[in-house]
Structure 1
Amino acid sequence: MLTLGIVLIAHCIFDFYLQSTGMAVQKETDNKVLVLHCVIYCVGISLVVNAIYEIGCLQNLIIFGVLIASHYFMDGPARLYLCKGGRSPIARFAIDQIAHVLILTALDFFLLFCARTRGFTVELIQVHSVELAWTGSFVAVCRPAGIAVSKMLESARGQNSDEKGDTVHSGKWIGIFERLIAVALSLLAQYSAIAFVFTAKSIARFKEIENNQGFAEVYLLGTLASVVFAMGSALLFSYLFSLC
């Protein structure tokens, strides 16, 4: 599980932080942009895997080939198929990410099985398991969780949203900071303190919540989604790095 945790951190970095919003939009219509993203992602994951397992050139080529073929298929033909199927944005996002994680999980278990026959150990990872758990949790709840929450709210808001301009921009950063605080409190096992963070946020929006039922529902959905992603990320990486 320790090595899988590092691979998932790498996935978040190379699939989200090293893929701009413009690239994410352009790759749907421009095959060159899609290929560039796949190459960046697969080179990054291959380097991380190689650093963990110290595998040979042939194994590296096989891993790179599997990664780039699967990633290209999921971000290309599979994405187009899901769009034509009329599925909601959050459903398409969830299916895409679950497929990526399943492939990485299968790859990691296969490499771990092969490596253990040569006396492979994870002592260095165990030494830094606490730091890695915090890093993974923070990496997951910023851009990846932010995109997931925005896709959940996209259909809920519809055409009724009056949040524009600076409000949208500030709302995005408020969401990031609230998830970071919730993750930190979860990792410190201070779960009751999380309620105070979201109570303070609700007080600031009290009038809007009271006067606009549509806004109240969207606000509640976004808040609950942020809590779930934050606490879920903390629990997941704590488990992967054997902290719980």
Structure 2
Amino acid sequence: MTDFTSLLVSFLLIHILCDFYLQPKHWIEEKKEKKIKSPRLYLHSILHGVALLIPSLILKIEWINIASIITIVTITHFIIDLWKVSTTKGDAFSRFAIDQILHVLVLISTVFYVTDSINITELLQHDQMPEIILITFAYLLILKPTSVTIGCILSKYPISGSEEENVNGLVAGGELIGYLERILILTFTLVGSYAAIGFVLAAKSIFRFGELNKSNDRSMAEYMLIGSLVSVVITTLIGILVILSLDIDIS
């Protein structure tokens, strides 16, 4: 690995340890309750900064850069966590996702700052950057755009009678299941693990069997089957197009 990659991975490792394994639940509850007055908020932020001493010293980062890293990470972590426990906008998952993304962006920025072996221009001009962009595009394509496409297709096959009411309560859950299913299918397609795709489909079929068995209206079963098959077909085709474009050897 490059110096950039080694340092970034080690920083992310420290972040995961401090944020998820070294932060007891009562710390989190105290931060939510007392917010800026919580001693745990300050302690948690300092822990994140000081813990980065370990990989920095191992990888022989200069002391002036280490001091900058500790200061930046400590302060930004405090601000981000304070925002997270103080805001009530959005759902819990959205706040969690934004919180983690901001922390990771800070770590990436600090690594760019202290690493001489790579810069943004070199990273963008890396030989594998087109492949990374294409694969990222494929994953984005199978999420919301594919859900909208499936929704448009299913709109032509409305569920009749009372069965439609039963589906309405599961729209959000069904969409999340679809996201996870398509992510797994695309991943297994790109690595050539087609047997694993069959396992995913079989597992979903088993869980869905009870619902379909209880359904008194055949349209419910047909509706779910059409949605599942369209999802699988679109994701598989996108995966195959990526493989052909990148000339990936999956033999």
TM-score when scaled to structure 2?
A: 0.48
Q: Report 1 or 2 for greater relative contact order, CA contacts < 8 Å, sequence distance ≥ 6.
A: 1
TM-score normalized by structure 1?
0.49
